[in-house]
Amino acid sequence: MPKFLIGLCTLLLLATFMPSTAHADTIVVTSGSLTVPGFFQGPNYSFAGQNFSVTAGGGDVGFVGPFSCFPCGGGNLNMNSTFAGTSLGQGTVTINGMTFNDLFIAGTFQFIAGSIVAPPPTSAITLTAPFTFLGVMSGCTVSHATCTASDIVFTTELSGSGIAFVELDFFQTPSFSFYQFKKVTYVFNAEPVPEPMSLLLLGGGLAALGGARWKLRKKR
């Protein structure tokens, strides 16, 4: 059975036998980020919400849509990512005033950002897109391979939103040019980045407004 399916089955068993006292209401992630720093690397993340924070890394690779640029020549690029199973890494979690170190984390992180059109490759670029986030997280004091219900210290559902940043390197040969995936970062509650055309329109509007005020003052 594939490792991904084994992880999901284990997670379902954990959820089935989870003590109700270990469950927390859905937590909205309001700050922080998750980064995949290169090809076939697991995510590193540090984010927080009300009465909750986590810093962890070293988990399974999962599915990272931007990996599809390996290489790519522009066009549609998948900005989604999903990490699921018994290894979402190991780290520190603070929840409801209690801090747990060296926890083994299981669950599911799903970043939904759709696809974005990359321009023809001429230089290294960073693409951005808004995302929504859904997740389930549980923490165990021992490896999930041997984890039992008594070893689980918490489980909670997560949600959030923000901006995805995908960095693409640029390469050129005598016959063609192409991009290659470098890094993807999902930043929670980040503000949208204005596109160059939007900035030009804004600048033009401000210039026109300033000109109108100058003419009005001159007439007076």
Give the whole-number percent of the chain exceeding pLDDT 70.
Answer: 76
According to DSSP, residue 72 is labeled B
* Choice between 21 and 181, residue whose per-residue pLDDT is larger: 181
pLDDT tens readout for residues 136-193: 999 999 998 899 999 999 999 999 999 999 999 999 999 999 999 999 999 999 876 6
In the chain, which ranges are E strands?
23-36, 44-49, 52-57, 63-64, 75-78, 81-85, 90-95, 98-112, 115-118, 125-140, 152-172, 177-188
Alpha-carbon distances, residue 58 vs 11, 62, 76, 134 (angstroms): 18, 12, 29, 20
Band (87; pLDDT cuts 50, 70, 90): confident
Q: C-alpha angle 48/44/15, rounded to 5°?
A: 65
pLDDT of 1 above 90 = no
Structure tokens at 200: 């030009």
pLDDT at position 112 is 98
Give the chain's mean pLDDT.
84
Whether residue 37 has a cis bond before it, omega within 30° of 0? no
pLDDT of 21 above 50 = no
pLDDT tens readout for residues 177-202: 999 999 999 999 987 666 544 444 44
According to DSSP, residue 89 is labeled -
pLDDT at position 42 is 92
Q: What's the mean pLDDT in 64-72?
A: 95
According to DSSP, residue 122 is labeled S
Domain boundaries, the chain: 3-189, 194-220
Q: What's the mean pLDDT in 106-130?
A: 97
pLDDT of 214 above 60 = no
pLDDT of 134 above 80 = yes
Structure tokens at 36: 């995949």
pLDDT at position 216 is 52
pLDDT of 12 above 90 = no
Among candidates 166, 165, 168, which has minimal Cα distance to 179? 168
